[in-house]
Amino acid sequence: MDLHGTFHVYDTTLRDGAQQEGLNLSVADKLAIARQLDGLGVGYIEGGWPGANPKDTEFFRRAVQELDLRHAKLAAFGSTRRAGVRAADDPGIAALRDSGASVVTLVAKSHDRHVDLALRTTLEENLAMVRDTVTHLREEGQQVFLDAEHFFDGYRANRAYALEVLRTAYDAGADVVALCDTNGGMLPGWVADVVHDVIETTGVRVGIHCHNDTGCAIANTLAAVDAGATHVQGTINGYGERTGNADLVSVVANLELKLDRQVLPAGLLRDATRIAHAVAEVTNFPPASRQPYVGTSAFTHKAGLHASAIKVDPNLYQHMDPVGVGNDMRLLVSDMAGRASIELKGRELGFDLSGDKDLVTRVTNRVKAMESRGYTFEAADASFELLLVEEVEGVRPAYFDVESWRVITETLNNRGVDDEAVSEATVKLKADGVRYVVTGEGNGPVNALDQALREAIGQAYPEVAKFELIDYKVRIFDQGHGTDATTRVLIETSDGESSWVTVGVGHNVIEASWGALVDGMTFGLRRHHSA
Amino acid sequence: MDLHGTFHVYDTTLRDGAQQEGLNLSVADKLAIARQLDGLGVGYIEGGWPGANPKDTEFFRRAVQELDLRHAKLAAFGSTRRAGVRAADDPGIAALRDSGASVVTLVAKSHDRHVDLALRTTLEENLAMVRDTVTHLREEGQQVFLDAEHFFDGYRANRAYALEVLRTAYDAGADVVALCDTNGGMLPGWVADVVHDVIETTGVRVGIHCHNDTGCAIANTLAAVDAGATHVQGTINGYGERTGNADLVSVVANLELKLDRQVLPAGLLRDATRIAHAVAEVTNFPPASRQPYVGTSAFTHKAGLHASAIKVDPNLYQHMDPVGVGNDMRLLVSDMAGRASIELKGRELGFDLSGDKDLVTRVTNRVKAMESRGYTFEAADASFELLLVEEVEGVRPAYFDVESWRVITETLNNRGVDDEAVSEATVKLKADGVRYVVTGEGNGPVNALDQALREAIGQAYPEVAKFELIDYKVRIFDQGHGTDATTRVLIETSDGESSWVTVGVGHNVIEASWGALVDGMTFGLRRHHSA
């Protein structure tokens, strides 16, 4: 079944989602998110605006080389040609053409006043810009979608012109025209009316792009689909400017699980919770616990009152089986790790736990206890694997025995606020029977600890010279209680061939970092010693 | 105009909202929230379930004495009488009767299987329980609303019985029957169909109570109103079990500002942002920045591209005037920052830069240069304001002169990897002509620095005792080059009345934190000294 031909699930996390206040994605972040989106099975991943800034240009260069997309096509976003220039001569269009993306999504003005005020050109020239750009890119072999910016406001202001923009794009060869509620003020009934009218009047294939300013982005998207739209745009976790874009997971879950429209490859929605959380780790925005379908609280019940009835028939108390989106029903407080997901995760790491109920119970309980202290194993596979190995083999893998450590950070030249600071760490440990006391320096405390630790165990294990700390993330909990906050650190370590993520938790950020560092070294050593 | 007679805005934050995971309200908290809700002008405040727990009983005792409600009536929530007992003899009913609330909202089963499994009684006895309880409370002089629990699922399972429950309550004297989507799985079209059918078939006055499990709580509520419901239930900030209840502020804002239905006393919606944030302070859940209408990001724009058009007509870029809900348009100074957006941002902060082209150029260039080093000013208004003041006045505001600082972090008992760590910071600075050398302790290095800095400048500026570090965020850049990574720290400082965000950047995380800390203190001191 050619799902993507009949219905488009189009993700714009990397472009419109990245407009969210405080969200700042590196090229590596964008590549990591794209892999997750492909795992979810979306049809299109809008990667950014090549040519508009060096980061997006670099993303497309690397995406084309490095991403081995199984489900999604890569889409490049950009605007129509500038006024008074041939499309073929416009360097902005060249950047889209040469991006390596098979799809180009062109944003065009469809609101007459925006043409005047923002583009500063005539309504006729704007139509020509749409026509020429679509025609040119089609001739160059790319699939073209049109994002009709401010469409709903434009439709109210000048319906005839707004429709003319759509017709022009469609006649020139655009496959879809997406109606954008750019300012986000629409309600479902209005969206439905406009989509109906557009389809009836123009016959174009309609897509929908909603923002959540009225709290109705998801419902507006569904209303458009009900009225005939066959292309939905949104972002993972609803990231986006202002109140965000339509949360693509909720839109898809509603379509598949409530409205019986299969829009992703079968079965992939069952990974939605894991993927939504993995993306949240990359963005470094804490996942919203109340998020529909994938939030950690989404299927949580205060079981007290109805526990027995829940046991008899859980479906009396939940609107769907959470397995459908990879989430879990939770009773009482505690975490999201149920036995089933522990088993699943074990299998993923190469451990078959299905035969040992006690073991699964032990691991589940320990994960729950640790997650309640602030650990997360969702993103820290390596720390989870160490925990699993410890429970399976009865002893935690250890290649060295730490006695103590200390870090000093101070200003370099005593010039005060603008001065650079340096760190010095001393680590005392035993490795392979020998005691080492090593001092390392670094431009940060974690870096200094990493240097000292690496040098201290390097005598016994020369392979650690290849290990490199390649990513470091910090999250603080219990904000509002600054001094008692819990800190979680995620560290990614690479050996040049692959990388692994470990987690550390503590009241002290350095203590949390140390835990993650030690796990990172231990995991790497174990892998090399068992290879 | 008797607004509350024609349309009910019914808040259940204190009862259903308090079911949210992690939410724990004291009696004092509930009283404080009730005052805020009354200030918003809601018609009804559901205070809890008197008799079910001592806290709720106490709340009603004190609410009746202490709350001087100007707009709202107090509603007590409770269930119908137990099976096989006279309403007048049921202690649960007595608690409702004696609560002092003028309104009782009775929850009743309307889903046949729930009657069987959870109530363990017959369908006939359930109807008698509804009839007797409503009749009794009406005779005792209270207004009665009925919450028909699991109504939408019950309607699907056994429409005739679900409708019979409504009819029974209405005939016995209930003023409203609220249809509850208790499990939260509905979509707007379905809600509309059911509400239509209920009103046509039974003629009862319909209320609506939605949860957000499909992400459609707000749209579902609006769909019910469009179909004839004249009573909407919801919670401030959408608090509630699982994915939460319908966010009452968004519902009301959509009704008043989008659908032209005045449902609160005129003008009160203009306090919505302040009230939503004040309630968030009480619940100790950080307000969601992306929340529709009242979120801090709800009217925020990355100004770069369209700044000149925004200047001409801001309404082209926002779905409504944020003043209508007491919010503000904010422009983010981002790496796309052009001169126009710097000017606009300056105006927002009270600086008219329009007359000084050179100044705008200097600020723009400095922001660009700093952002390329890792700074972000879009989240750090306070650091941006300090930079602006420095360029306008020719000298950076400074209340103290730092000589040097140092932090030591070490394991507490030399037990190695699982050990806790403590930090000690020494700061040397001059404030008001006096040199201070102060050592502070903390469970983390930033905390220790904060303590030492605060104490060192506290002699000269006692007002810093009120400043509190309430949020701390860390982001690492240039991953892939662990040792050369740049660290960005955002710190939010509060003086108990308002809060401000500052940014620090450095290769060393402690150095970056120090920069943000110093900016945070400086900004706070400047505000207090110019006030």
Tell me the CATH number at B64. 3.20.20.70
Is B407 part of a structural domain of the chain? no
- Per-residue pLDDT at A163 exceeds 70: yes
The SS3 call for residue A253 is helix
Is B364 part of a structural domain of the chain? yes
Q: Which two tokens stand for residue B442?
A: 């903390």
Q: Beta A103-109 vs A143-149: how paired, if at all?
A: parallel
Which pLDDT band holds residue A125 (cuts at 50, 70, 90)? very high
Under a CB-based contact definition with an 8 Å cutoff, are residues A250 and A292 in contact? yes
Which residues of chain A lie closer than 8 angstroms to B286, CB-CB? 479-480
Which pTM does this prediction carry?
Answer: 0.74
What is the C-alpha separation between A181 and B128, in angstroms, rounded? 50
Q: Tell me if B218 and A214 make a contact (CB, 8 A cut-off).
A: yes
Q: Tell me if A401 and B416 make a contact (CB, 8 A cut-off).
A: yes
Phi-psi region of A512 (alpha: psi -120 to 50; beta: other; left: phi over 0): alpha
Instruction: From residue B337, give the alpha-carbon distance in Å to each of A119, A337, B225, B306, B370.
Output: 18, 44, 43, 10, 12
Domain count, chain A: 2
Which residues partner with A97 through β-bridges?
none
Is A290 part of a structural domain of the chain? no
Q: Tell me if A316 and B21 make a contact (CB, 8 A cut-off).
A: no
Look-up: residue for tokens 């029977």? A433
What is the C-alpha separation between B508 and B513, in angstroms, rounded? 9
The distance of Cα B22 from the centroid of its chain, to the nearest Å, equals 14
Q: Tell me if B515 and A297 make a contact (CB, 8 A cut-off).
A: no
- Per-residue pLDDT at A1 exceeds 50: no
Q: Do A277 and A405 fall within a single domain?
A: no
The partner residue sitting opposite B445, judged by closest CB among A223, A429, A509, is A509
Q: Do B194 and B324 fall within a single domain?
A: no
Q: Tell me if B241 and A302 make a contact (CB, 8 A cut-off).
A: yes
Q: Beta B487-494 vs A103-109: how paired, if at all?
A: unpaired
Under a CB-based contact definition with an 8 Å cutoff, are residues A82 and A90 in contact? yes
Tens digits of residue pLDDT in A85-104? 999 999 999 999 999 999 99
Which residues of chain A lie closer than 8 angstroms to B514, CB-CB? 417, 421
Question: Minimal Cα distance from B303: which residue of A?
Answer: A19
Q: How many CA atoms lie within 13 A of A297 on its CB side?
A: 21
Q: Beta A487-494 vs A499-506: how paired, if at all?
A: antiparallel
Under a CB-based contact definition with an 8 Å cutoff, are residues A64 and A30 in contact? no
Which residues of chain B lie closer than 8 angstroms to A443, CB-CB? 483-484, 507-508
Q: Which pLDDT does position A472 carry in this prediction?
A: 80
CA A413, A417, A420, A426 torsion-angle sign: positive
* Sequence-distant (≥ 6) Cβ neighbours of residue A383 within 8 angstroms: A375, A377, A501, A502, A503, A516, A519, A523
Which residues of chain B lie closer than 8 angstroms to A503, CB-CB? none
Q: Do B239 and B304 fall within a single domain?
A: no
Which residues of chain B lie closer than 8 angstroms to A306, CB-CB? 118
Q: Do B273 and B305 fall within a single domain?
A: no
What is the C-alpha separation between B215 and B233, in angstroms, rounded? 16
Q: Beta B434-442 vs B468-476: how paired, if at all?
A: unpaired
Is B31 part of a structural domain of the chain? yes
Q: Do A279 and A406 fall within a single domain?
A: no
Q: Do B246 and B359 fall within a single domain?
A: no
Q: Tell me if A514 and B213 make a contact (CB, 8 A cut-off).
A: no
Which residues of chain A lie closer than 8 angstroms to B222, CB-CB? 187-188, 216
Query: Which domain covers residue A507, as residue numbers?
Result: 401-530
Of the candidates B422, B49, B60, B16, the residue with the CA atom closest to the CA atom of residue B240: B16
What is the C-alpha separation between B303 and B341, in angstroms, rounded? 6
Q: Which residue has the higher pLDDT, A284 or A338?
A: A284
The partner residue sitting opposite B212, judged by closest CB among A214, A240, A292, is A292
What is the C-alpha separation between A432 and A378, in angstroms, rounded? 32
Q: Which residue has the higher pLDDT, B433 or A367?
A: B433
Is B212 part of a structural domain of the chain? yes
Q: Which pLDDT does position A379 carry in this prediction?
A: 66
Q: Report the gap between the CA of A49 and the closest CA in chain B (Å).
A: 13
The partner residue sitting opposite B470, judged by closest CB among A445, A470, A479, is A479
Q: Tell me if B298 and A429 make a contact (CB, 8 A cut-off).
A: no
The partner residue sitting opposite A284, judged by closest CB among B22, B443, B475, is B475
Q: Tell me if A510 and B445 make a contact (CB, 8 A cut-off).
A: yes
List chain B pLDDT tens, one digit each, 531 residues. 344 458 999 999 999 998 887 777 888 889 999 999 999 999 999 999 999 878 899 999 999 999 999 999 999 999 999 999 999 999 999 999 999 999 999 999 999 999 998 889 999 999 999 999 999 999 999 999 999 999 999 999 999 999 999 999 999 999 999 999 999 999 999 999 999 999 999 999 999 999 999 999 999 999 999 999 999 999 999 999 999 999 999 999 999 999 999 999 999 999 999 899 889 878 867 788 899 999 989 998 875 556 667 777 888 889 999 999 999 887 776 545 567 778 888 888 888 888 888 888 888 888 877 877 778 777 788 999 999 999 988 888 889 999 999 999 998 765 544 567 889 999 999 999 999 999 999 888 999 999 999 999 999 999 999 998 887 878 776 544 444 567 888 898 988 888 898 999 988 889 999 999 999 999 999 988 876
* Last residue in a domain, options B309, B341, B372: B372
Which pLDDT band holds residue A207 (cuts at 50, 70, 90)? very high
Q: Do B246 and B316 fall within a single domain?
A: no
Q: Do A77 and A206 fall within a single domain?
A: yes
Q: Which pLDDT does position B425 carry in this prediction?
A: 95
> Burial letters for A438-451: b for 16+ Cβ neighbours within 10 Å, e otherwise?
bebebbbbbbbbbb
Q: Which pLDDT does position A480 carry in this prediction?
A: 43
Question: Minimal Cα distance from B467: which residue of A?
Answer: A482
Which phi and psi (to 5°) does residue B40 adopt? -75, -20
Q: Tell me if B423 and A508 make a contact (CB, 8 A cut-off).
A: yes
Is B168 part of a structural domain of the chain? yes
Q: Do A275 and A420 fall within a single domain?
A: no
Of the candidates A341, A339, A351, A378, the residue with the CA atom closest to the CA atom of residue A503: A378
Q: Which two tokens stand for residue B297?
A: 């990001």
Q: Do B178 and B271 fall within a single domain?
A: yes
Q: Tell me if B404 and A414 make a contact (CB, 8 A cut-off).
A: yes
Q: Tell me if A406 and B408 make a contact (CB, 8 A cut-off).
A: yes
Q: Report the gap between the CA of B496 and the closest CA in chain A (Å).
A: 11
The partner residue sitting opposite B319, judged by closest CB among A213, A258, A487, is A213
Q: Report the gap between the CA of A355 and the closest CA in chain B (Å).
A: 32
- Select the residue from B112, B191, B214 to test the A interface by mutation, using most A Cβ atoms within 10 A: B214
Q: Tell me if B472 and A482 make a contact (CB, 8 A cut-off).
A: yes
- Select the residue from A193, A329, A410 to test the B interface by mutation, using most B Cβ atoms within 10 A: A410
Is B206 part of a structural domain of the chain? yes
What is the complex's ipTM, to 2 decimals? 0.76
The partner residue sitting opposite A319, judged by closest CB among B185, B316, B411, is B185
Which residues of chain A lie closer than 8 angstroms to B408, CB-CB? 406-409
CATH code where residue A410 lies: 3.30.160.270
Q: Do B254 and B316 fall within a single domain?
A: no
Is A294 part of a structural domain of the chain? no
* Last residue in a domain, options A263, A283, A303: A283
Q: Do B233 and B330 fall within a single domain?
A: no
Q: Tell me if B297 and A242 make a contact (CB, 8 A cut-off).
A: yes
State which H helix or E strand residue A468 sits in. strand A468-476
Q: Tell me if B473 and A471 make a contact (CB, 8 A cut-off).
A: no
Q: Report the gap between the CA of A233 and the closest CA in chain B (Å).
A: 16
Q: Tell me if A401 and B415 make a contact (CB, 8 A cut-off).
A: no
What is the C-alpha separation between B244 and B20, in angstroms, rounded? 7
* Sequence-distant (≥ 6) Cβ neighbours of residue B367 within 8 angstroms: B333, B337, B342, B377, B384, B387
- Count contacts between A and B (CB, < 8 Å): 354
* Last residue in a domain, options A251, A283, A315: A283
Q: Tell me if A113 and B415 make a contact (CB, 8 A cut-off).
A: no
- Per-residue pLDDT at A331 exceeds 60: no
User: First vs last Cα of chain B: how many Å apart?
Assistant: 42
The partner residue sitting opposite A444, judged by closest CB among B244, B470, B509, is B509
Q: Tell me if A420 and B507 make a contact (CB, 8 A cut-off).
A: yes
Q: What is the mean pLDDT of residues A23-48?
A: 94
Q: Tell me if B476 and A476 make a contact (CB, 8 A cut-off).
A: no
Which residues of chain B lie closer than 8 angstroms to A187, CB-CB? 219, 222, 254, 258-259
